[in-house]
Amino acid sequence: MRAVVLGAGVSGLACAVELAERGVAVEVLERGERLGAGCCSWYAGGMLAPWCERESTEPLVAALGAESLAWWPAKFPGTVLRGSLVVAHGRDAGELRQFARRTERYQWLESEGVGALEPDLAGRFSQALYFPEEGHLDPRAALTALAARLEGLGTTIRFGADAAACGERAIAAHAAGGAVIDCRGLEARDVLPDLRGVKGEMLLVKLPDVSLSRPVRVLHPRVPVYIVPRGDGHYMIGATMIESDQPTRITARSMLELLGAAYALHPAFGEAEIVEIGTGVRPAFPDNLPRVCRIGGTVYVNGLYRHGFLLAPALARHAAEQVLGADHSPEVMHEGSRQRRLA
Ligand SMILES: Cc1cc2nc3c(=O)[nH]c(=O)nc-3n(C[C@H](O)[C@H](O)[C@H](O)COP(=O)(O)OP(=O)(O)OC[C@H]3O[C@@H](n4cnc5c(N)ncnc54)[C@H](O)[C@@H]3O)c2cc1C
């Protein structure tokens, strides 16, 4: 069987891997000239945090995310499974209690526990939530690893393949009895009109003086921020959530808020070198939940919102099973299906 995957973001690459490993001859068409160009996935934090995300989303996201946690280390050995930490300053202690009430699979830590996990945060927080089963990865390294894996499986990623070429190839693939999986993110609005963009701004900084070994979320009533270690003294600071589909440059307010939160986590961030400022636009449906659905013979994987790396493996499995006719839970994640049965 042959399949064409449209888009080489995290969803497209995960779908291509799942199909190629099942023996399908896959071709990936990507509009950008190189991996990451014009792709939301390039700017992600890379947190694999089903239970932290559960605080603000539906059980489906945590369930799919938990499934995906086992996939990443198998496909990308750089995946780090050291858990994640949620902290709040004294005046925001209520935020921490509220966060805990909305989720599960965490441990309460006192100040000593925080210092034992992250020595550079010793004495800075009297309480924290520790989610030991969570993980994180460097999204760019992970995408590169998936692309290399596809190459090893004989799959070609064609860069610079524009929409028109995609359409022609998709029609050809259909005509030849093959499958088309559309993972174009926000660009799929021509077929999925209720998709919207949620802009996210991020910073990459270098700060060799501070060592953190797991993502740390800093709760705040107005500006919750997280910091993800990228290794070699680099940290990703993210991320804003702005209802906009324009990948415009970061605003001064966002920059102040992100840096202010990092500085509040540890004043040494005031000395950090700003390496990169980035903006990505997350593809989201009105309910902020993902969908795998079939329209006119094409399978669409979309609406990964703020959980693309967390959800892509599980969604890719569903998509591959739909393509191969092995999905025995066809109602899973179809449009409008709130009463989902989890496979
Ligand atoms: C600042 C920020 C932080 C985030 N942090 C996290 C995090 O910590 N953990 C997490 O799990 N998620 C996170 N996310 C969310 C995650 O990045 C997204 O959910 C994910 O990137 C969506 O992936 P996608 O493959 O659907 O879309 P995209 O990554 O946008 O990929 C779509 C691809 O399709 C291509 N394309 C478009 N049109 C065409 C066409 N006509 N032909 C061919 N190709 C086309 C595009 O060029 C692009 O490469 C974050 C997002 C942002 C912005």
pLDDT, tens only, 284-300: 999 999 999 999 889 99
Does the Cβ of 39 fall within 6 Å of ligand 1?
yes
Does the Cβ of 8 fall within 6 Å of ligand 1?
yes
Can you give the pTM of this predicted structure? 0.94
| Residue 45 DSSP one-character state | -
Cα of 228 vs centre of ligand 1, distance in Å, is 18
Does the Cβ of 183 fall within 6 Å of ligand 1?
yes
Nearest to 306 by CA among 182, 193, 230, 202: 202
Does the Cβ of 225 fall within 6 Å of ligand 1?
no
Q: Which atom in ligand 1 lies closest to the alpha carbon of residue 309?
A: 11
Kindly indicate the confidence band of residue 327, based on its pLDDT and cuts at 50, 70 and 90. low
| Encoded amino acid at 12, one letter | G
Nearest to 17 by CA among 205, 263, 181: 181
The values of phi and psi at residue 252, to 5°, are: -60, -40
Q: Summarize pLDDT for 46-77 with one digit per residue, the tens.
A: 999 999 999 999 999 999 999 999 999 999 99
User: What span, in angstroms and rounded, lies between the C-alpha atoms of 321 and 317?
Assistant: 6
Q: Which atom in ligand 1 lies closest to the alpha carbon of residue 29?
A: 43
Does the Cβ of 280 fall within 6 Å of ligand 1?
yes
Nearest CA to ligand 1 atom 18: 308
Side-chain-side CA neighbours of 62 within 13 Å: the count stands at 15
Q: Summarize pLDDT for 84-129 with one digit per residue, the tens.
A: 999 999 888 999 999 999 999 999 999 999 999 999 999 999 999 9
| Encoded amino acid at 91, one letter | R
User: What span, in angstroms and rounded, lies between the C-alpha atoms of 61 and 66?
Assistant: 8
Does the Cβ of 219 fall within 6 Å of ligand 1?
no
